[in-house]
Structure 1
Amino acid sequence: MATHPARSRSERAGAGRPDWLAVALGLGGLLCLFYLVPVVSLFLSVSPADLVARLGEREIVGAARTTLLSASVTTVVATAFGLPLAYWLARAEGHWTTVVLGAVVLPLVLPPTVGGIVLLTVLGPNTALGGAATAAGFQPYRSFLGVVLAQTFVASPFVVVTAKAAFEAVPRELEHASRSLGKGRWTTALRVTLPLAAPGILAGMTLTFARAMGEFGATMMVSYYPMTLPVNIWTSFNALGLDGAYPVAVVLVVLSVVALALLNTLAANPWE
């Protein structure tokens, strides 16, 4: 059976070359190991007895409660304000959308501690807004409200950006069809756009929750107390060293893995 000359030459030329797919897998596998080995090492560094003993401490239980509650409130607030903004960004046209999107993404590129300092220039004890809010009974710093504000600042962009992509993936023809049947924009958004974009929106909410739960820099600057788990890890490290910080870190890793599992099972993958 005759062999095609061009194919034969191509096969001979590629015979001595490396399999780039295998090379890519090898390099990527090293990076994956760099991700996973430290996490596994963390779990191996803590004995079950020490973990159970530390988990029973009132301070850690309170930090875990504050972390979960504040991250939940942050996710609700970010979704309530972020979804309308994401819808507007997905459907509006003009140069203003680029400017607004840049403002949304800005907290993602700011160092967390800088984000906390930025918030304190507006909400701090010596500012007009911070003083007025405190006088009204809503102290925006060194309080649970301060924790939520700091987490919202750094985590809410995830729900906006992800929901924007989800809204953009909804075919506009379906919205036009709904409008042609006499349905208003509000009804169309509720009955057509939101259900179709729901998996992406849920993914953004999950990412927001996970980011808020792990927030440290801005939270520490704005509201050291009540402590969240990341702040408690820092104080435990300063007081007791790595051995004291390990058990709290394990708790935070477990909660983060649960959030990741929810993202993969209940929501659309925001990176696909």
Structure 2
Amino acid sequence: MNRTDSVRSRRSLRIPGRLVPVVLGGLLLVYLALPFLAFLSRTGTANVIARLSAPEAQVAIRNSLLTAPVSTAIATLFGVPLAFALARTSFAGKRLVEGIVILPLVLPPVVGGAMLLTAVGRFTPIGRVAAAAGVPLTGSLLGVVLAQTFVAAPFVVITARAGFGAVDERLEQASRSLGYGPLATFWNVSLPLARGAILAGVTLTFARAIGEFGATMMVAYNPRTIPTRIWIDFIAGGIDTIVPLALALLAITLVVITAVQRFGRIPTVVEE
């Protein structure tokens, strides 16, 4: 066998190997896309405009668009500094802190909601004090924010930490050597360089918050958000009744995905 035949033989052996990941990945892609296509095929049977104009739907959309940005802002305000601390410092109990951050991601949301009730429910010390002050922590928009923040905040912490971890520490040291303090270095060097990862985390946090159902149902069944309204409509009338609100939620999610692709990269979550 000459050299050309040998090369052709090796190439023929490589082709099946390349096809395996393509076929397996293609099957998963079809499985992921099929529910979307099947669901969208039902939109013709639903009066989308009329249902979205209903007062109940309007209230749910308004509540979700009000609470999700607030939850995202809270998670970002406190989560980004925590992410920087985890990326740049070593301290006793660091593994415990990391575990606490990750725990809401692996807990079933309903369990997370139950935990919140044991901490801030009406019959807890914190809940009683808040209720006496006229600021109930459950059954209110504040309760929705608490639930959303609990389940969504880890996204911004984990993603931002990966972003800070990718920043060359020598650049921060150079800033310090020029006379800038820790806060100025963080603001002018670390934060801009990790901007893409942070924005990706913020958008993922928003997407998780606006779609939160389980913990919200436990902590604040009322007032309704889009996910809780969808559940109520499904129980009352089946799939066709939830199509309009589901489309609204899907549209918001698509905007979030576009933002992630524009401003940051989702893989930074796992690149550390």
TM (normalized to structure 1)?
Answer: 0.93
Give the aligned residue type for 2:102: V
How many Å apart are 1:9 and its aligned residue? 5.0
State the partner residue of 1:149. Answer: 146
State the partner residue of 2:167. Answer: 170
State the partner residue of 1:128. Answer: 125
Distance 1:20 1:64 in 2: 48
How many Å apart are 1:48 and its aligned residue? 7.5
Task: Determine if contact 2:45/2:240 at 8 Å carries over to the other structure.
Answer: no
Give the aligned residue type for 1:26: V
Deviation per CA, 1:18-51: give whole Å up to 9, x if none.
Answer: 5222221111111111111211221220228611
Distance 2:14 2:104 in 1: 45
Distance 2:15 2:261 in 1: 34
Give the aligned residue type for 1:47: G
Q: Does 1:108 align with 2:102?
A: no
Task: Determine if contact 2:46/2:244 at 8 Å carries over to the other structure.
Answer: no
**Paired residues for 1:59-138 under 5 Å:** 59-138=56-135
Distance 1:102 1:49 in 2: 44
State the partner residue of 2:252. Answer: 255
Deviation per CA, 1:38-97: give whole Å up to 9, x if none.
Answer: 112212202286111111101111101111111100010000110111110000124522
State the partner residue of 2:41. Answer: 44
How many Å apart are 1:13 and its aligned residue? 6.1
Partner-residue secondary structure (3-state), 1:224? coil
State the partner residue of 1:19. Answer: 16
How many Å apart are 1:270 and its aligned residue? 2.6
How many Å apart are 1:3 and its aligned residue? 3.8
| Structure 2: unaligned runs, 5 residues or longer | none
Q: Does 1:270 align with 2:272?
A: no
Distance 2:98 2:216 in 1: 24
Give the aligned residue type for 1:82: G
State the partner residue of 1:56. Answer: 53
Distance 2:12 2:257 in 1: 42
Deviation per CA, 1:145-176: give whole Å up to 9, x if none.
Answer: 00000000000000000000111111000000
Distance 1:153 1:16 in 2: 51
Task: Tell me whether 58-67 or 17-26 shows the greater mean CA deviation.
Answer: 17-26
Task: Determine if contact 2:160/2:197 at 8 Å carries over to the other structure.
Answer: yes
Distance 1:169 1:124 in 2: 40
Give the aligned residue type for 1:227: R
Distance 2:197 2:261 in 1: 11
Distance 1:37 1:49 in 2: 20
Distance 1:178 1:16, change over 3 A: closer
State the partner residue of 1:34. Answer: 31
State the partner residue of 1:245. Answer: 242
How many Å apart are 1:262 and its aligned residue? 1.1
Distance 1:8 1:239 in 2: 68
How many Å apart are 1:12 and its aligned residue? 3.3
Distance 1:13 1:170 in 2: 42
Deviation per CA, 1:175-205: give whole Å up to 9, x if none.
Answer: 0001111111111111111111111111100
TM (normalized to structure 2)?
Answer: 0.93
How many Å apart are 1:100 and its aligned residue? 0.6
Distance 1:264 1:48 in 2: 33
The structure 1 residue matched to 2:224, chosen from 222, 227, 231, is: 227
Task: Determine if contact 1:42/1:250 at 8 Å carries over to the other structure.
Answer: no
State the partner residue of 2:190. Answer: 193
Give the aligned residue type for 2:75: A
Runs (4 or more) in structure 1 with deviation over 3 Å come to 7-18
Q: Please provide the CA RMSD for this pair.
A: 1.8
